Structure 1
């Protein structure tokens, strides 16, 4: 994004947005709604001496999504950046205000304006898919907690079948299970309605260990396999890619995965890897070979995770389902 003469950093919160023009060095607060967005555009045009500018704000989930949708509808160039990148580029900051945050965002985007790429809003079906996957995950966790409570109560009580608390828990568990099933049905409808997502879903389903949830999460996090250039880039995003750690002649550690990454995606890939080891002959032999080489179990599972990611990207790139070519070797 070269040749821009001004940038506007925006700090987004639940009810307000704070805008800061970097070159003009002016700040103003607006309401985080449609009226506030319109006033923001008018104010920026008055403060800047050029029309060659763009906006930048942090990705804060639902709060920033409204602003992104509005700017996209007005064909306005904007960048939605990771909060961690902006925070780590700011140096040591002891004060914390919305105005200062907007200024730091503007400073970041001005310094890196030549490296940044304009952001785009995902399709409505893609956004709904992400919301449903997050909701399903929350309901599953809540249901697991209720099941644990019910199990403990059954141990303590002599007649759990007639206890009112146990009966209430069972009803809640059954209700949440039905809700999860309904969400999964809606997810399948969204996938089926989109030809591109449906094709990639069928390709991913040909991999052992990859079911509905893992396949849909892969489609969502990769932007239907358009967000990452290679499987290694996605592996780094998930936190499964090993990195070197050495300095001079005294520090030389073995490669390790960085703690930064999408923990939910990493956890799902771990469960998919365990399932693949049980049902996929190639990956089971590959896993055992890594153990025989002296690697611990978690490191061997991480190797399987990366194998699954590589296979997922390969089948989508080729456009053909995965086929086991050799039954006797990985």
Structure 2
């Protein structure tokens, strides 16, 4: 279609990140033109800025084209085959765990009529998770670099098998700094202070992937309960920060530590990270 319109090789294409649906067209276009994949919330914010009132497929396409021209988003980086395989495995494992949790909740109030069916489904999902975890182990065996980095990440207090896999599938060369990675996770700070008389509470931006943040919540909670970062947590408590905010701060700290360990290929040093503020 683009060839039929005599598209210039310097054409800049852009689309929204829509789960995994954007990946096939992005991979194809990336081989012929400059390709960008951006956060839908950024494009929605641009739509508000230009006062777009109607919403149709045609209008959305025009909007994304205007956004691309005005904002010049960074080029999309195609993941390696190993990276894509790990991403697919971690996403599917998370999906099956979510389904199992939903069935377990249903079972608590289920009647005898459907109770056994739910139990059978939970059993099936448990077996499927077992097979997926075996597939994940086979992946690490076939990719020793990922295995070494997985072991490296698991030495961080609170980081287990699942979170290590999620971090490995996410942290790529596209991120130059830990702040960029934290922003991708939606863990960047967001302050609301429109004037000197108004000082709103600081929150996380959440302009990022909620499933990635979910994978970090339990590790951060474990680190908090184990008092893994006493000086850091102590400073936040001294500032009268509530536990929920401290948990989020630990999530951001875990992402930062993981980034530096993988980028510098260094080992986790408790004396450096757990005793600093």
**SS of equivalent to 1:260:** coil
Separation in 2, partners of 1:239, 1:56: 21
Aligned partners of 1:276 and 1:284 also within 8 Å:
no
SS at match of 1:56: strand
Give the equivalent residue in structure 2 for 1:184.
133
Name the SS of the counterpart of 1:228 in structure 2: coil
CA distance in 2, matches of 1:214, 1:198: 14
Please state which structure has a larger fraction of its residues in strand. 1
Per-residue deviation at 1:166? 3.4
Q: Partner residue of 2:54?
A: 95
Distance of aligned partners of 1:291 and 1:233 in 2 relative to their CA distance in 1, 3 Å threshold: same
Q: 1:242 to 1:203 in 2, by over 3 A?
A: same
C-alpha displacement at 1:312, in angstroms? 1.3
The structure 1 residue matched to 2:202, chosen from 246, 249, 255, is 255
CA offset at residue 326 of structure 1?
A: 7.5
Q: CA separation in 2, counterparts of 1:53 and 1:293?
A: 51
Partner of 1:14: none
- Whole-angstrom distance in 2 between the partners of 1:203 and 1:229: 20
Q: Per-residue displacement from partner, 1:61-98 (whole Å, max 9, x unpaired)?
A: 343222122234x4433222333222322322222222
Aligned match for 2:11, one of 46, 53, 58: 53
The structural deviation recorded for 1:289 is 5.3
Aligned: 1:109 with 2:56: no
1:238-284, Cα deviation, whole Å (9 max, x unpaired): 233323322232222243222433222222222101112344x5425
Q: Which protein has the larger Cα radius of gyration, Structure 1 or Structure 2?
A: 1
Q: Which runs of 5+ in 1 are unaligned?
A: 1-39, 157-162
Query: What RMSD, in angstroms, separates the aligned Cα atoms of the two structures?
Result: 2.7
TM-score, normalised on structure 1?
A: 0.73
Out of 219, 227, 239, the position equivalent to 2:174 is 227
- Structure 1: how far apart are the matches of 2:273 and 2:3? 65
- Is the 8 Å Cα contact of residues 282 and 327 (structure 1) preserved in structure 2? no
Give the corresponding residue for 1:68: 26
**Whole-Å separation in 2 of the counterparts to 1:133 and 1:168:** 27
Q: Does 1:320 align with 2:277?
A: no
Answering whether residue 41 of structure 2 is matched by residue 84 of structure 1, we say yes
Task: Identify the structure with the greater helix proportion.
Answer: 2
Unmatched 5+ stretches in structure 2: none
Cα distance change on mapping 1:95 and 1:184 into 2, 3 Å: same
Range moving further from structure 2, 92-101 or 172-181 = 92-101
Describe the superposition over 1:132-182 as per-residue Cα deviations: whole angstroms up to 9, x where unpaired: 2222222112211222222334xx7xxxxxx56433332221110110121
Aligned to 1:150: 107
SS at match of 1:142: helix
Q: Do residues 298 (structure 1) and 250 (structure 2) align?
A: no
1:166 aligns with 2:115: yes
**3-state DSSP of counterpart to 1:325:** helix
CA positional deviation for 1:302 = 2.0
Q: 1:68 to 1:197 in 2, by over 3 A?
A: same
In structure 1, the partner of 2:155 is 206
Q: TM-score, normalized by length of structure 2?
A: 0.85
Provide runs of 4+ in structure 1 moved above 4 Å.
326-330
| Structure 1 residues 80 and 318: alpha-carbon distance in aligned structure 2, compared to 1, 3 A threshold | closer
CA 1:284–1:182 in 2, change beyond 3 Å: closer, same or farther? farther
